[in-house]
């Protein structure tokens, strides 16, 4: 076969046309090595394609991370499991692979008072899922409800819900702060019903189910929403003291210790974890 000779400029154009930027960047160096070391053609081609695919996967994950709207610092690595002894790290790590629960559209519910790490843990699971190739959206529940309500007013609710379908997981942060207005919260119910047994939700809330009558407009809808959510669900109750308060308490105690150490004549100041913020 008489292969046509190609100059670098033409190759660059063709690679650009084919949207193969990584090969475009790497081929001169790879071709030189290949010529020098006498690689078989398949090795050169294979190496270039593999790099293109790897870069593409990396870019896709970066895009997914940006679209998720998650705080990049709230990851599993920065989560201190010893602060929440009732939450098993192994269990969270298993959920973070996404296997089985995302496929059946199951739900994770994180309950607990403010500051105990619900949002952090939700986002940590979200980041791990993005690394595993899934698509995640993290949103305050009230914000999403407002957007869906606006969509409904312009008769776009079904298409707005359909657009959310691209996410394997939606993290509804602070569900119990959603506004109690009738029209608004029924779109929340519609979202829950729409995703039921198909696409997963992770919900954080200060109040467990007993307080949700204040979120949904009528008790029937509350029961119907809870029923769908708990059907395939994992529930974590983080009943601990606020992490922030505890950290602030630790710092104060450390300061007190420092003061006591610095002054050998002082009577010991009491240690006190209670800090008002």
- Cβ-based nearer residue to ligand ADP, 52 or 174: 174
- Locate all alpha helices (DSSP H) within 80-181, ordered by sequence: 89-95, 118-131, 141-153, 157-164
Residue holding tokens 């809808």? Answer: 221
**Burial readout 239-254 (b: 16 or more C-beta within 10 A, e: otherwise):** ebebbebbebbeeebe
Q: Which does 24 bind (CB under 5 to 8 A by kind): ligand ADP, Mg ion, none?
A: none
Q: Which stretch binds Mg ion (CB under 5 A): 65-73, 116-124, 138-146, 213-221?
A: 116-124
Q: Which does 209 bind (CB under 5 to 8 A by kind): ligand ADP, Mg ion, none?
A: none
The CB density around residue 201, as the number of other CB atoms within 10 Å, is 22
3-class SS of residue 53? helix
- Cβ-based nearer residue to Mg ion, 127 or 152: 127
Asked if 139 is part of the footprint of ligand ADP (rule: CB under 6 A), the reply reads: no
Asked if 115 is part of the footprint of ligand ADP (rule: CB under 6 A), the reply reads: yes
Give min distance, CB of 227 to ligand ADP, in A.
Answer: 25
Q: Which stretch binds ligand ADP (CB under 6 A): 112-120, 144-152, 180-188, 190-198?
A: 112-120
* Residue choice 24, 117, 126, 217 for contact with ligand ADP (CB under 6 A): 117
How many residues bind to ligand ADP according to rule CB under 6 A?
Answer: 17
The DSSP symbol for 267 reads P
Give every CB contact of residue 45 below 8 A, 6+ residues apart in sequence: none
**Among positive and negative, which fits the CA dihedral 233, 234, 240, 244?**
negative
The length of the chain in residues reads: 277
Q: Provide the binding-site residues for ligand ADP, judged by CB under 6 A.
A: 74, 78-80, 83-84, 112, 114-120, 204, 243-244
Residues binding Mg ion (CB under 5 A): 119
């Amino acid at each position: 076969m008489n292969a046509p000779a190609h100059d670098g400029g033409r190759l660059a154009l063709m690679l650009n046309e084919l949207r193969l930027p990584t090969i475009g960047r790497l081929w001169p160096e790879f071709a030189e090595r290949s010529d020098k070391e006498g690689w078989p053609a398949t090795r050169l081609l294979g190496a270039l394609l593999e790099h293109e695919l790897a870069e593409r996967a990396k870019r896709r994950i970066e895009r997914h991370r940006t679209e998720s709207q998650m705080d990049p610092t709230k990851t599993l690595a920065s989560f201190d499991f010893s602060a929440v002894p009732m939450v098993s790290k192994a269990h969270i790590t298993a959920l973070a692979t996404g296997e089985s629960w995302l496929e059946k559209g199951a739900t994770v519910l994180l309950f607990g008072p403010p500051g105990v790490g619900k949002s952090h843990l939700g986002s940590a699971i979200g980041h791990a899922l993005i690394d595993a190739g899934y698509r995640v959206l993290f949103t305050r529940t009230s914000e999403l409800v407002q957007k869906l309500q606006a969509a409904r007013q312009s008769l776009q609710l079904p298409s707005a819900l359909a657009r959310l379908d691209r996410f394997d997981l939606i993290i509804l942060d602070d569900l119990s702060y959603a506004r109690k207005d009738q029209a608004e919260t029924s779109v929340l119910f519609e979202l829950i019903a729409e995703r039921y047994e198909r696409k997963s939700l992770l919900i954080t809330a200060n109040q467990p189910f007993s307080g949700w009558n204040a979120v949904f407009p009528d008790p029937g809808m509350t029961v119907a929403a809870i029923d769908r959510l708990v059907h395939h669900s994992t529930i974590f109750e983080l009943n601990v003291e606020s992490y922030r308060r505890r950290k602030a308490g630790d710092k104060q105690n450390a300061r007190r210790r420092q003061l006591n150490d610095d002054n050998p004549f002082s009577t010991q100041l009491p240690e006190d974890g209670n800090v008002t913020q």
